[in-house]
Amino acid sequence: MKALVVGASGQLGAALLGALEHSGVSAVGTFRTHAHPGSLSLDVRDSSAVRAAFSHAAPDVVFWCVNNPGGVDWCEEHQDEAKDIHVRGAKNIFEACAKRSAKLVYFSTDYVFDGRNGPYSEDAETDPISVYARVKREAEELAVEICGKPLIIRTTAVYSWGRQSKNFAMQVWEKLSAGKTMQVPQDQMCNPTLADYLAEAAVRLVDLGIDGVVNVVGRDLVSRSDFAVSLAKTMLLDPALISPVDTSALGQSAQRPLRGGLKTDKLTKILGTEPWDMKDSLNRFRRHWRGDTHDAPAKKQVSSEAETLRRDILDKVAKYYDLVHKPKPFVPFKSRVQYSGRVFGPEEMTALADSALDFWLTMGPYAELFEGKMKKFFKSADFLAVNSGSTANLTAVMTLTSNQVEDHLKPGDEVITPAVTFPTTLTPLVHAGLVPVFVDCETGTYNINPALIAKAIGKKTRAIMVPHTLGNPCDLDVLTDLAKKKGLWLIEDNCDALGSTWRKKPTGTFGDLATLSFYPAHHITMGEGGGVIVNNPRLSRVARSVRDWGRDCWCAPGESNTCGRRFGWQLGQLPPGYDHKYVYSNLGYNFKPTDMQAAVGQAQADRIPDFVAARRQNFQTLYDGLKRYERQLILPRWDPRAEPSWFAFPITVMGGITRRELTAHLENANIETRELFGGNILKQPAFLGIKARVSGKLLETDRIMRDTFFIGVYPGLTDEMISHMLKTFDEFFARQK
C-alpha cells in the first residue's frame, strides 16, 4: 500500500508518516510553507500541482491533515483564504482521490458542533458557529459527495511535543518556561488527543477498511485549564502560572463551542479497546519532551523549584568530574597504557545523573534519543538499543529464524563465518541449530579470506555472518555480491568497526542486519550495551519483538494500547480479545538496556567523529613508527576501498620472534596486550565437537592463533603514551641484535 499525507509538516502529518513507516507502508508527504524532510512542496489550491503530486506518489490512501497559518481565529479574520484552503483546496485533493479510486481519510473537528450538548456522537446533528467550523463541515460534505465512502475522523485538542509547532502543549511550554502566566479557558471542554495516538488509530482504521464518520480522541473529557495544568506538571513547569478564566474574557475573534468533546463508543467497538487515557498520553508526550530537552539541557528555562534543584545537582556533577575523573599525567612504566578504555566527560556524567533523577529504570526518553541518533548516523531503516554486543548478535540471528520472516533460517541451514572470531559471533548460530561453515582468514587483515567464500557455499548455505575484525572492513563487494546472487542473508558483526567505511559508506549498512557493542573497550560505551542496525525494513518489527520478550505488542515500557485495540486481537490459538501485551509471536528475551545506560550512550554518540579521528591518528603514528621492523613483524593491511576506524593495532610476529617474548616485554613496560579473541575458535573448549563444516584448511587461522596479538589505539592514548610504546618496541629489537 502507498500513502500520501497532505500536510505532512504539521504535528498530525508528521505523526502519520511515523505511524505509516512503523506499519511498513510507503508514504509520501506534502508541505506548503514549512519544508519537511523528504516531502513534496504542494499548494492544494493549484489543481495541476495536485495532479502532479498524485502522479508522483501513486497513492492507494490519502490523508488530509492540512491546517492553516493561524488556527480558528485566523479563519474568522481571513474568510476567503480559509475557504480557498479548506474547501477549494480540499476539493482538488478529493477529485484526485476519486480519479485514482484512492481511499480518502479526512480529519475534521468537534468544532462542527455548537458546543451546547457535548460530548457528541458521530450521528449528532452538526451546527457550526465559526468560519473554521463551517469550512470543515463543508469539506466533510464534499468528501462524501466526491469520494463516496471516505473515512472522516473527527478529533479535538490535538497536541504533541515539537519546537516548531504552535499546538496547545507548545503554547503552554513557551509561556510557562519563560515564567509568564497563561490565561486558559475553564469553561471549554475537550478530549485531549495525542497526535501519536490519533495517527496510529487512523492507520488502524484504514487497515480495517472502515469508512464513514469515526470520533478519534482521548478518553478523558476535561476543561482546557485542567489540561493545561496537567501539561505543566508533565513538563516540570509551575502549574500556578495557569490562570483559569471564562472564554468570554479572552476576546477571541471566533466563537468556541463550550460544552464540546466527542464520544468514543463507536471507536471502542471497532478497535476492541478504549482510547488512550490522559495518563498514557502524557507519558508518551513526556518521553518526547524529555528526549528533546535532554539533548540540550542548557537551553531549558528554570521555571520551578524542582527544575532549579535539578540544574544545581547537574552543575555539581560536572564540577565533580573535573575534580575526580579528569585524565591524570602519564608516568612511563608506572601508568598503565591500556589497549582500550572508556573516554568520557562531564556530558556523560550529567546525563547519567539526570536520568537517575527521573528514576526511569527501564528504557525511556534517553533510549529513544540514543536510538534516534544512531539511526541518523547510519541512515538505517531502524536502530535497536540492546544490553550488549552479544545480545545484539543473538537478536540478529533470532530475527532471521523467526516464523514471521519469509524464507527464514531453519535448524540445519548453513551459515558462512570466519574461523578467527569472537565467541558470541558464533554462539547464536550454534544455539539456533544452524551449522557454521568455517572459512580461513588472512594474516594482515585478520578477516575472512574473500577468495575462499564462494567455494564454501553449498546447497544448504542460507546466510553469511562476518565480523569486521578490529575495525578493518571485510571485502563487502564480494560479500554483498554473493549474498545477492545466491539469495543469502547477510549479517555484519560491526562491533569493532563503528565509523569504518567501505567505498565511503559506513560498515554496518551493507547487511540485512548489523550489530554493535558498547562495552567500555569499544568505540563508544554505555558500560554494558549494544545495538542492532536494521537495514532491511521488513525485519524491524520482528527484531524489536525478539528484543522485547518476543511479544507481539509494540508498546514502550509504561505504555498500554499503542495499537488502539489492546483487547481486539485474535492471534495464534488464543481466545479473541486476549490482552495484546501478553501475546507472544516470536521466541525472545528481554535484551533492553536501561535508560541510564542510554543516557551515557547518547552523549557518547555525539563524540563518534572525534573518536574515529583519534583512533585513525593513533593507528597511523604506531604504523609509521613500527614500519622499520617489517622483517620481524607483519603490520596490519587494509583494502584501499576501505577506511578503517581501528579498534586496535594487530601485529603478527615472524623471523624468529615469538609472541610470548614480545608481549612479555611490553607488559613489563606496563603496556597492555591482547591476543586476537578466540584464535581458531574450533580449538576453544566450548566449541569442541559442535556441529559444523570446515571449508578447506585453516592454516592462516592457526598462524593467527599462534603468532598474533594487538595493542591499543583508543582515544584515551596520549602522545606520551604512544611514544612510550614505540620506545619499548625499539628497546626490544635493540636487544635482538
Tell me which residues are annotated as active site.
522
Please tell me the distance from the alpha carbon of residue 229 to that of residue 238, in angstroms, as a whole number: 9
Q: How far apart are CA 383 and CA 509, in angstroms?
A: 11
Amino acid (1-letter code) at residue 158: V
Name the nearest CA neighbour of 102 among 46, 38, 53.
Answer: 53
Residue for grid cell 579470506: 449
Q: What is the dihedral of CA 429, 554, 599, 315, to 10 degrees?
A: -170
Residue 37 burial by CB count (10 A; 0-12/13-18/19+): exposed, middle or buried? exposed
How far apart are the C-alpha atoms of 202 and 105, rounded to whole Å?
A: 8
> Helix (H, G, I), strand (E, B), or coil: what is residue 509?
coil
DSSP letters for 202-221: HHHHHHTT--EEEE---S--
Distance from C-alpha of 260 to C-alpha of 258, rounded to nearest angstrom: 5
Contacts of residue 251, Cβ cutoff 8 Å, sequence gap at least 6: none
Q: What is the DSSP string of 32-60?
A: SSS--TTPEE--TT-HHHHHHHHHHH--S
Nearby residues of 46 by Cβ (< 8 Å), 6 or more positions away:
92
Q: How many CA atoms lie within 13 A of 19 on its CB side?
A: 28
In the three-class reduction of DSSP (H, G, I as helix; E, B as strand; rest coil), residue 564 is classed as coil
d(CA 18, CA 16): 5
DSSP reduced 3-state for 642: strand
